Amino acid sequence: MNYKKIFGELPRNWTVGTLDQYAEVIDPHPSHRAPSEVSDGYPFLGIGDLDYYGNATFDKARHVGLEIIEEHEHNYKITETSIGYAKMGNTIGKVVSFPSRQGKTRFAVSPALSVINPNDQINPYYLRAVVESNAFWGQVNGKITGSTRPSIGIQQLRKILIPLPPEAIQERIGEIWKAIYDKISVNTNINDNLQQQAAALFANFYDHAETEVGFTEIIQILGGGTPKTGESSYWNGNVPFFTPKDVGLPYTLSTEKTITEEGLAHCNSRLYPVNTVFVTARGTVGKVGLPGVPMAMNQSCYALVGKETHQLLVYFYTLKAVDRLKHKASGAVFDAITTRDFESEIIMKLSDEDAQGFLDVAEPIYQAVLSNSIENLRLAALRDSLLPKLMSGEIDVFDIQL
């Protein structure tokens, strides 16, 4: 493959090699079968255990036995500089950061992931920046096979081309990438902590509530719709179009698809404001999130709006209701939520005094969460626009001030 078609004209003292020259690319799951789950074991990190920014978390991971853990630790050799790369399914190309093993829980990883362990010929943070780049993805995308379950073979992944600048430039690009990544991680951890505080406070008030009400007595259920897909004037506009793929933690700020004002006028969705509660009803069922900017929504979701009930209370009441619906479906396939499901739900309504006490704390918390989420989106955009120019030599890395 002609590297100039991928990277353009590189500086003279840069070289180009394949990924397997600079890293061990490991695929310890030739069968692509996930191990059996156990009730009391160790976390098994899958694609569903990644946050919005690709960090793997233990919160809702399945659990596996010690023999699986030992096998994975032997095969994967995960360290703090290891890079996870999703190699199959709808998340192919997702780049994963693993939790540190230093004093932390032992864990195994999904067969949907390959692990890339940099060697001493390349700066590990520079390699991470390359693996996240559009140039890397463009090569992967050209090697994907399969339509119903797309994937890239491990041998194909190993032969992806990597531009290699002198060591000092690698180190500087790695420093810039890590500075941005660390700031995103700090904001993400702050948001996680803030949300845990709000959830604990709500649970305390909820457990002491004495008034039972029907869910739909205080919360209105609204729907969405999709403009005609064949009408080009309806699509690729400035209106975010929320689908189950777009659920954030908790805020969604950008969506995979967008529609135009004309498209919005020709579908069954309103333009829902910030803090409307979105619930995925089909496909990926039972995810609950909040739009961080006004957006439309497709028919696979519900929009929940309070009837004189604050939207943050609607959010937490909805989490309670959806959790109950999931428990009711235990042992059965939880493949859809209907309006009747919500109509049959009973929740405990906080007293006016407790509701105000909760909101006095929760409102500034979620304003901070939204602000941090917006900053993370800006940082990610800066990373995605700046790093390609640094890696091509278009911008001098030593002109960048962190």
- The string of pLDDT tens digits covering residues 64-77 is 888 888 887 777 78
Instruction: Note the pLDDT of residue 269.
Output: 94
Q: Look at residue 53 and tell me whether its pLDDT is greater than 70.
A: no
What SS3 class is residue 267?
Answer: coil
CA–CA gap between residue 201 and residue 206 (Å, rounded): 9
Last residue of a domain, one of 349, 366, 387: 349
Q: Look at residue 286 and tell me whether its pLDDT is greater than 80.
A: yes
Instruction: Note the pLDDT of residue 49.
Output: 74
Beta bridge partners of 336: 282
Last residue of a domain, one of 164, 192, 224: 164
E strands, 229-345, are 235-242, 251-252, 257-259, 277-280, 288-291, 296-297, 301-306
Q: Has residue 61 been placed in a domain?
A: yes
Domain match, 19 and 145 both = yes
Q: Has residue 402 been placed in a domain?
A: no
E strands, 40-135, are 42-45, 62-64, 83-86, 95-96, 108-109, 113-118
CB 198 within 8 A of CB 366: yes
Main-chain dihedrals φ then ψ at residue 398, nearest 5 degrees: -85, -5
Domain match, 37 and 95 both = yes
Tokens of 23: 């890293």
Domain match, 267 and 337 both = yes
Q: Look at residue 399 and tell me whether its pLDDT is greater than 80.
A: no
Instruction: Note the pLDDT of residue 51.
Output: 65
How many domains are there within the chain?
2
Write down the mean pLDDT value for the chain: 88
Cis-peptide into 250, omega within 30 deg: yes
Sign of CA dihedral 102, 106, 110, 111: positive
Q: Has residue 378 been placed in a domain?
A: no
Residue type, 102: Q
Q: Look at residue 275 and tell me whether its pLDDT is greater than 60.
A: yes
Specify the CATH number for the domain of residue 140.
Answer: 3.90.220.20
Instruction: Note the pLDDT of residue 29.
Output: 61
Q: Look at residue 31 and tell me whether its pLDDT is greater than 60.
A: no
Instruction: Note the pLDDT of residue 266.
Output: 95
Last residue of a domain, one of 332, 349, 366: 349
Instruction: Note the pLDDT of residue 225.
Output: 95
Instruction: State the average pLDDT over residues 176-186.
Output: 90
CA–CA gap between residue 298 and residue 230 (Å, rounded): 16
Q: Has residue 334 been placed in a domain?
A: yes
Q: Has residue 358 been placed in a domain?
A: no
Structural domain boundaries, residue 284: 210-349
Domain match, 160 and 292 both = no
Instruction: Note the pLDDT of residue 102.
Output: 47
Instruction: Note the pLDDT of residue 252.
Output: 94
Q: Has residue 398 been placed in a domain?
A: no
Q: Has residue 180 been placed in a domain?
A: no
